[in-house]
């Protein structure tokens, strides 16, 4: 089984002004003359971390990692009072990736994304297919209404995790529980910390509790950090209320434009956050892609079977 490459440090980093008063954090590590790859984190709003550099052979890849608008080390941060999410949309993030690619002098790059990162990877690749050398996608999420309902509206995941669902419901008044994403939108944007704080932690810990096949308390505790949780929950909810600024099913419907891009789809069979049906639907729309359904995994990128499949793909593509 393949495991993460050893820890490495960036050799360059910075803040890129992308307009709208926003600056995104970026870093490069690995081989400055290597094959370019960009890692797209999840959420939206989860931010990136040092482990993400370790998915790629540092001797063969120029590894680009960034924090998307409003989260991680990007500025301003969505946890700040009065933060305006109006210019934080799927298509702003697609444009940011093009600005970053040009800033770094990259002609084409491999695009690697999991969970929300797979959404952004598909949106970017369908907009700029000539700039993508390969796609590595994990835990496929496309913001279809059925996907949002499954995890956030009580249409499936709640029946698998009934002991945890009550925590997600707790901040929401009983008369608002028929439209939970919309109810959370009100709570998370309430200026009172006594309102938005508990709502953010409830939203973030519900997600963290479902990411792995087996419980991982330290991961749940990290998501419960109040500053992290507020940015994460606000950004995610903003995207979900607006259905990603896409037509329902748009990314899968347009997948045919990716047929000339070598693509690997890695999916945990027991993924509760982004159920396998979405990965299957993408595979059927893009039969040229390699489809890996991991039999003993949930959603997290570092579960053993998923990690092995991801690194096998990046190792193989490094030679192209």
Residue with tokens 């009072």, as numbered in its chain: 81
30 Rama class: left (phi>0) / alpha (psi -120 to 50) / beta: left
Q: How far is CA 35 from CA 110, 138, 319, in A?
A: 8, 20, 9
What is the spatial distance between Cα 40 and Cα 117, in angstroms, rounded to a whole number?
5
Residue 27 makes CB contacts below 8 A (sequence gap 6+) with 10, 12, 13, 14, 64, 65, 66
CA distances from 137 to 110, 242, 294 (A): 11, 23, 13
Which of the residues 48, 57, 271, 283 is marked catalytic? 271
Select from 260, 252, 308, 264 the least CA-distant residue to 290.
264
Burial class (CB in 10 A: 0-12, 13-18, 19+), 285: middle
Residues whose CB falls within 8 Å of the CB of residue 70, separated by 6 or more in sequence, listed in order: 22, 45, 76, 77, 78, 83, 85, 88, 231, 234, 235
User: CB within 8 A of 49, min separation 6: which ones?
Assistant: none
23 catalytic? Reply is no
In angstroms, the CA 270 to CA 183 distance is 28
Identified catalytic residue from 115, 196, 209, 238: 115
CA distances from 103 to 24, 47, 52, 181 (A): 12, 20, 21, 36
Distance CA 231, CA 32 (A): 32
CA-nearest of 110, 113, 114 to 132 is 110
- Whether 115 is a known active-site residue: answer yes
Which letter does DSSP use for residue 148 in this model?
H
48 is catalytic: no
By annotation, the residues acting in catalysis are 115, 271, 299
């Amino acid at each position: 089984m393949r495991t993460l490459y050893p820890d490495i440090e960036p050799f360059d980093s910075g803040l890129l002004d992308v307009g709208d008063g926003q600056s995104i954090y970026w870093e490069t590590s690995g081989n400055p003359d290597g094959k370019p790859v960009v890692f797209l984190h999840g959420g939206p709003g989860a931010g990136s971390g040092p482990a993400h550099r370790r998915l790629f052979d540092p001797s063969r890849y120029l590894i680009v990692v960034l924090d998307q608008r409003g989260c991680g080390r990007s500025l301003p941060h969505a946890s700040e009072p009065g933060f305006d999410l109006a210019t934080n949309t799927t298509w702003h993030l697609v444009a940011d990736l093009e600005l970053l690619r040009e800033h770094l002098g990259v002609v084409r790059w491999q695009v690697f994304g999991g969970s929300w990162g797979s959404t952004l990877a598909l949106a970017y690749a369908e907009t700029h297919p000539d700039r993508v050398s390969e796609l590595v996608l994990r835990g496929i999420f496309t913001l279809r209404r059925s996907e949002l309902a499954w995890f956030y509206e009580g249409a499936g995941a709640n029946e698998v995790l009934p002991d945890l669902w009550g925590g997600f419901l707790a901040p929401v008044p009983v008369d608002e529980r028929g439209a939970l994403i919309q109810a959370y939108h009100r709570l998370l944007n309430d200026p009172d910390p006594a309102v938005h704080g508990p709502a953010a932690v409830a939203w973030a810990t519900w997600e963290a509790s479902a990411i792995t096949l087996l419980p991982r308390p330290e991961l749940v505790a990290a998501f419960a950090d109040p500053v992290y949780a507020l940015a994460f929950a606000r950004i995610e909810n903003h995207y979900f209320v607006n259905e990603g600024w896409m037509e329902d099913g748009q990314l899968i419907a347009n997948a045919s434009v990716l047929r000339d891009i070598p693509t690997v789809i890695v999916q945990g069979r027991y993924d509760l956050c982004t159920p396998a049906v979405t990965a299957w639907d993408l595979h059927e729309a893009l039969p040229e892609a390699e489809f890996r359904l991991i039999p003993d995994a949930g959603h997290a990128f570092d579960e053993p079977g998923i990690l092995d499949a991801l690194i096998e793909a990046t190792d193989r593509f490094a030679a192209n």
